[in-house]
Structures are given as structure tokens and as C-alpha cells.
Structure 1
Amino acid sequence: MLPACGLGGKTLLTAGLAGLLLYLAGHPLPHKGQCGKLLVLASVLYALFKSLGVLGPSEVEVSDICERRKMNVAHGLAWSFYLGYLRLVLPHLEDSITKFHATHQANSPFRSRGSRKLLILIPLNANISHKLEDEDDNIHFYDNLPNNEINRAGVRGRVYKHSVYRVLDGDGKAHECVVEYATPLLTLYSMSQESSAGFGEPERRQQVLLFYRTLQDILDHSLECRNRYTLILLKDEHEDDPHVLSKAILRHLQQQEKEEFCLTPPPHQETEHPLSSTPSSLPINNYWHHPDPMSREPTLMFSLERPLPLKEPVENTDDYQGRQ
């Protein structure tokens, strides 16, 4: 942490040399006749600091400047992934799942609302496998969603597709979901393998985290993609577990199912009064009347009749004429 903040060995060595020069100069500040010596000393110290690289920005400052000025590789990749892919396909994801469900209704896929979102996997090490079943044998390829054809950059009917996977839990129950890796991470991983790119493993991990934060911030402000995606950051803390990928996917699916709210009223709302022998709902003029409206949950009632116009005010002058 200290070297990253600019307090490394060079800084300490330069501070020691500066103290030694000030000691040898004999503290020229109190004497008015030694201004020339002070200027020479300041020039020597500046040249010494500059040659040792102490006056340059630290790693933390460089990272902060690049992040604020949007100069990082991950920042550009996140915007490219959003503008060139997610913003195009996510608005059509619900229709594709509906068409897929109509053709696979016997198997009843996508039972939960969470499985109807696009799960985007972002591994911290940027190591992506092209087949999910190669990483976890609890994940099996099921089928592809219907293709989306979009005219893009001069290509007529460019095809965009998503794959459906079945993820098995501990009880062997299958959960269908649309899941894929964030493809820009392939670029980050390839850059770290090229010596000419000057992009090592520490820089790659930092860029993956920045890619995740930037993409999350972009999608949070996107109306086209809202409630249609889930970002899953995969850490490499449990690489020894062969089912770490399926557990991460199932954990997010279960979390989304718990966060759902039932917007439809319960099927049995009307209950009989415990002290009354008559039913709580009686037909009156072909309408059901509830003598105890607080015995059930409130529901919204809409009238199908057309609204009537307001009655215009009618002037009545009989009282005024009678007074005269």
C-alpha cells in the first residue's frame, strides 16, 4: 500500500538525502545573505527528486486520474458491451423467452421470474470457457432461444442468440436459465497474454473489477435493460470446488425468487364469521354483498360503465321573485 501511495524506497532515500544536504548547507533560511545558496540547494533537490521519479504521480494517483478521465481499457469495453450488444438484445429477451416457452411448454421451462433474465458471468480472473458444462458438470446445455435479427453496421439481419442451460441443484432438480459470459473479458485475457500490450495479471484483475463496476453503473441508468439482467461476479476463492459455477448461478436464482412479490390476491379471501350461521357473502340484486368488508383483504374495484357528464347548474329565481 505504501509504495502505491508514493512512499516507497526511492521516496525515503530522497528524503534522507534532502535532510543531509540541508544539514551540510548549515540552515541557510535564517540568514538573509545566503539566498543564493538556498536557490542552488533547491535546484539540486529538484533535479534529484525528478531523476528518482519522486515528483511523478503515484500508482494510486494515476489510477484515479485514468478512472476519472475514463482512460481505462475496461471503461471502453464496458460501454462497447452495452451499446453494441446489451442495449440491442435485452429489450427483445422477454419475447424470445415467450416464444421459446410456447414451443417447449411440455417441459415448462422458466418457472421463476429470475430465470427469465439474462445472467451475465464476470469471472475475476477473466478466464472464460466456451462451454459451461466443461467447467461444471451440474450445468447442461438445453437449447437456444429464437434468433434475433437486427440490421447492424451494414450487415442485414445480423443474428444475435442466447443459450438456455439447465443447472442442477443438490437434490438433482433442474433450473432453466439464460446464462453467458461477458465476452469483452476475452479481450482482457488476451491482452494479458500479449507481451507487447504491457498488460499483466495484476492490471487484468484491476480492469475486470473496473469493468464490473462500470457496466453495473451503466445498466443501473438504462431504461431499456432494467429488470432484464443479472451481473454475477465470480471470485477465484473457491477454485477447488468443481461446482462453484452452478452454486453461484443457483444462489442468484434463489435470491431473485425470494425478492419477488405476489401481486395477485390470494384465492380464498372471503371467510365465514365464526359466530354467524349465515354465509358471509349473500347475493343481492345479482351482486355479492359482504356484510363484513374488513374480514377480507382490500381489492381494487373498477366500474365498466361509461362516466356520466356533470349536471349543469340550473338557475332558480322563484325565491327571488317571491321576496319581491
Structure 2
Amino acid sequence: MQTSKDQAALIPQPRGSLPKVCAAVLAALIIGIIKFTTADGFLGLVALAVLIVTLGPLLHGLCLLAEELRNHSNTRYRGQAVVSHMLPACGLWGTTLLVAGLAGILLYLSSHLLLHKSQRWELVFLVPAIYTLFKSLGALGPSEVEVSYICEERKMNVAHGLAWSFYLGYLQLVLPRLEHSIAVFCASHQASEPCWGRGSRKLLILIPLNANISHKLEDEDSNIRFYDNLPNNEIDRAGVRGRVYKHSIYRVQDEHGRAHDCAVEYATPLLTLYRMSQERSAGFGEPERRQQVLLFYRTLQDILDQSLECRNRYRLILLSDEHEDDPHFLSKTILRHLEQQKKEEFCLNPPPQREAKQASLGSFLTPAVNNAVWHSLESMSREPTLMISLEKPEPLKEPVEDMDLNYRAA
């Protein structure tokens, strides 16, 4: 059975800044070696290297700009200004252009320190041209890690859109009403048979890794059976008057035959991921689907953690796809989460009663002292009250000098 530690090891974490640190250390090491091995022209070499590196992307950006100007200026940019929209989109603006300009100025100022001046400018133009050719042919294209990093950093994955749609279009609407719906449900079913004796009052959201969702939970596990639906929530939404939102109640049977009531359902956006993996035109295979499911889980968890409306009203359950040999995997997983939730919840003990206090004190106090102590404890433990006296107020007594009396008595 999958534990919380295994689940934490399964979910991919956001990529960090280790590549940047490694690149900075490598660049500092190489620059330090060149600094100590080169007698003259160090600044000129650094400027030449920076200019060669930055001119390649700038030349490739010019090639991209030609395509955008000729075919997409009206459809993609709505005829907007070239400087404010097209140039940044093609990488011809911002940091790259600034660094290339500074490197060119530094190279001009330190050009007299460089050796082999006759071949310097040939190298400046030759290397960017070769870079542009290889970049256009795809030999220097971004790797899968870089594309994944860009998509995750800018929230461009399919999973991010599905998670936000699931939250804003469903969970944010129904979770604040869940507790009231369960209370109404229990009140209406209490006469026929007791309900919700054991179970969770949170919405259990199932997220299978393979995204293959069954429309009836009892078809996957015989220990789960449908009990009833919670009262419908009717909300005016997107022009539809009284759009109906509902939850289903299932009874999950444990190994001792006891039934546990809970509101449980699958995350419906996973149906979209599964259907996309079945469509050839979507270009969405099984490995990509699994990765998107994990990103969906992580993104939805982050969204719900920041939501005050949904706090303590849900529980996400990530289901592994390696349980074909266990026909009761689903019920065991739900029961394990219910048990874990029960252990996480706690209640304050009621205040000790009078008999308990008397028993603890009466073992070593006399009856008279015991009653006095108890009355003092009772007066200290009860809530403060406002006491009003009906007697007339009296003036304060004046101080009396008694030093002479004490002196005579001594």
C-alpha cells in the first residue's frame, strides 16, 4: 500500500536554481584560469567572448522577426507596434541586447590589448553566423528539460489550466457549502437509519495516476457501495439559472464489516487528460499524461492550500496504478485516509468535575478543609459575575496615628 513517504517521493518538485549555480561556478573557474595564464588583453578576451555568445541569439532573432513581420503582424499582434511587441517576442530586446552593446563597447575600448588583431573581427562574425544556422536547423534547440522548466515557470502546462478550472469552476463553489449539505442530509436520513456514524465530513477527491476513471466506484471495489446523494446545490452560473452541483455518498466497508460514510469522487479534469492521450491529433502520449497528472495534483494542492474558502473541507488522494493484484485497493486507500484524518483531528477534554477534584484532594485533607478547598476552587473556576450591593456607601476611614500607643505598650 502506498504510504505518504512514497507519495511525496512520487510527486515532482519545482525545478530549482542548481544549473545556474553550476554555470556560475564553471564560468568563474575558467575566467580565473585565463586571468592567471594571460598576461595582457584579459578584458578584451572577456568582451570578445560575450559578444560572440550574444550575437548568435540576436542574429537568430532577426530571422524570427522576418517571419513575424511577413506573415503574423496582423493575426498575432493585431497590427501593434514592432518595437513594443515583436522585438521582445523575437528576443531582440532586454538583457541580451544590453549585454551585447556593453560587450561591444568594452571590446572597442580594449581592442589594442588583443593579440592577432587581423583575425579578431572574422571570429566575431563567423561564430554567430554558424550559431544561427545550427539554431535554425534545430541542432541547438531547447532540451526537454528547458521546455518543461519554461512551461512550469510560466504556468503553461495543460495541468495548470485544468487545476485552476477545477478550482474556480467547481471546488470554490461547492466546498464552502459542503458542511451544510451534510448536516441537512443527516437530518433527513436520521429517521430511517443512523448515518455518518463513522466517516469523514470532507470531500475526498481521488486522483489516479493513469487518469483512467470509472464512473461508478462499486465497479472497482466490492467493498464500496453507493448510498445516496447530498442535497443539490443550485447556483446561477454563466447564464444558466439554477445550475445543479451535487456530491454522492458512498459507504466503505472495512475488514470488520463496519461501514464508513464519506463523500468521495474522482477529479473530473482527469477525464480530459485521458481522452487527450487517446487522440492522435493531440500529440499527448502516456508518459506525458502521467507527468501532467502529477503536475495537476501538485498545482491543485498548492491552490487549495492558499484558499480560505476550501480550507479543511477536502482531502486529495493520489492513487497509484500498481495495484492490479488487489481488488480492494481503493477501499483500503480510502479507509487509510479516513483513519489518518481521524488521528489528525483532536478535541479538548471537558473540564474536570467536582467529584474528580474532591477525590484527588480528599485523600490527604480533612472533610472540613476539603470542603473549604473545594469552595475556593469552585469560586475560582466559575465564570465572573457582576455583584451589586444594596447597602449605602460609607466614607473611607481616616488614618489613625497609633505610634504613641505602641510606644507605651512597649
Give the conservation status (yes or no) of the 8 Å contact 1:280–1:292.
no
Q: 2:316 aligns to what?
A: 231
Q: 2:217 aligns to what?
A: 132
Distance 1:281 1:103, change over 3 A: farther
Give the conservation status (yes or no) of the 8 Å contact 1:136–1:242.
yes
Question: Is 1:275 paired with 2:364?
Answer: yes
Aligned-partner Cα distance in 2 for 1:248–1:93: 22
Instruction: Choose the corresponding residue for 2:183, options 98, 110, 113.
Output: 98
1:47 CA displacement = 4.9
Aligned-partner Cα distance in 1 for 2:369–2:296: 60
Aligned residues: 274
For the pair shown, the structure with the greater C-alpha radius of gyration is 2
Q: 2:10 aligns to what?
A: none
Q: Residue 290 of structure 1: SS of its match in structure 2? A: helix
Distance 1:57 1:98, change over 3 A: same
- What is the TM-score of this pair, normalised by structure 2? 0.60
Aligned-partner Cα distance in 2 for 1:240–1:254: 23
Aligned-partner Cα distance in 1 for 2:335–2:382: 39
Q: 1:302 aligns to what?
A: 383
Aligned-partner Cα distance in 1 for 2:156–2:202: 31
Provide structure 2 residue ranges, at least 5 long, that are not aligned to the other structure. Answer: 1-18, 20-113, 389-395, 400-410
Aligned-partner Cα distance in 1 for 2:339–2:161: 32
Q: Residue 335 of structure 2: SS of its match in structure 1? A: helix
- What is the TM-score of this pair, normalised by structure 1? 0.75
Question: Is 1:259 paired with 2:344?
Answer: yes
Aligned-partner Cα distance in 2 for 1:241–1:145: 30
Question: Is 1:110 paired with 2:196?
Answer: yes
Question: Is 1:290 paired with 2:368?
Answer: no
Distance 1:291 1:247, change over 3 A: same
Question: Is 1:200 paired with 2:289?
Answer: no
Q: 2:271 aligns to what?
A: 186
Q: Residue 142 of structure 2: SS of its match in structure 1? A: coil
1:64 CA displacement = 1.2
Instruction: Give, as a single letter, the amino acid of the residue that structure 2 aligns with 1:180.
Output: E
Root-mean-square deviation (CA, aligned residues, Å) is 3.1
1:43 CA displacement = 5.1
Q: 1:144 aligns to what?
A: 229
Distance 1:37 1:202, change over 3 A: same
Q: What pairs with 1:23-34 in structure 2 (closer than 5 Å)?
A: 31-34=116-119
Give the conservation status (yes or no) of the 8 Å contact 1:271–1:280.
no
Give the conservation status (yes or no) of the 8 Å contact 2:234–2:242.
yes
Aligned-partner Cα distance in 2 for 1:53–1:193: 28
Give the conservation status (yes or no) of the 8 Å contact 1:66–1:72.
yes
Instruction: Give, as a single letter, the amino acid of the residue that structure 2 aligns with 1:274.
Output: S
Q: 1:87 aligns to what?
A: 172
Aligned-partner Cα distance in 2 for 1:223–1:130: 30
1:270 CA displacement = 2.9
Q: 1:13 aligns to what?
A: none
Aligned-partner Cα distance in 2 for 1:61–1:151: 43
Q: 2:142 aligns to what?
A: 57
1:151 CA displacement = 1.3
Q: Residue 116 of structure 1: SS of its match in structure 2? A: strand
Instruction: Give, as a single letter, the amino acid of the residue that structure 1 aligns with 2:123.
Output: L
Give the conservation status (yes or no) of the 8 Å contact 2:358–2:374.
no
Aligned-partner Cα distance in 2 for 1:130–1:188: 16
1:99 CA displacement = 1.0
Aligned-partner Cα distance in 1 for 2:117–2:216: 77
Aligned-partner Cα distance in 1 for 2:267–2:278: 18
Q: 1:155 aligns to what?
A: 240
Q: Residue 204 of structure 2: SS of its match in structure 1? A: strand
Instruction: Give, as a single letter, the amino acid of the residue that structure 2 aligns with 1:108.
Output: P
Aligned-partner Cα distance in 1 for 2:382–2:139: 74
Q: Residue 149 of structure 1: SS of its match in structure 2? A: strand
Aligned-partner Cα distance in 1 for 2:326–2:369: 58
| Identity within the alignment, % | 69
Give the conservation status (yes or no) of the 8 Å contact 2:205–2:314.
yes
1:259 CA displacement = 1.1
Residue by residue over 1:235-292, the C-alpha shift from the partner in whole angstroms, topping out at 9 and shown as x without a partner, is: 112232111111110111000111111224166543513234649974x8xxxx6268
Aligned-partner Cα distance in 1 for 2:182–2:146: 46
Q: 1:240 aligns to what?
A: 325
Aligned-partner Cα distance in 1 for 2:195–2:298: 31
Q: What pairs with 1:200-219 in structure 2 (closer than 5 Å)?
A: 200-219=285-304
Distance 1:266 1:107, change over 3 A: farther
Give the conservation status (yes or no) of the 8 Å contact 1:270–1:280.
no
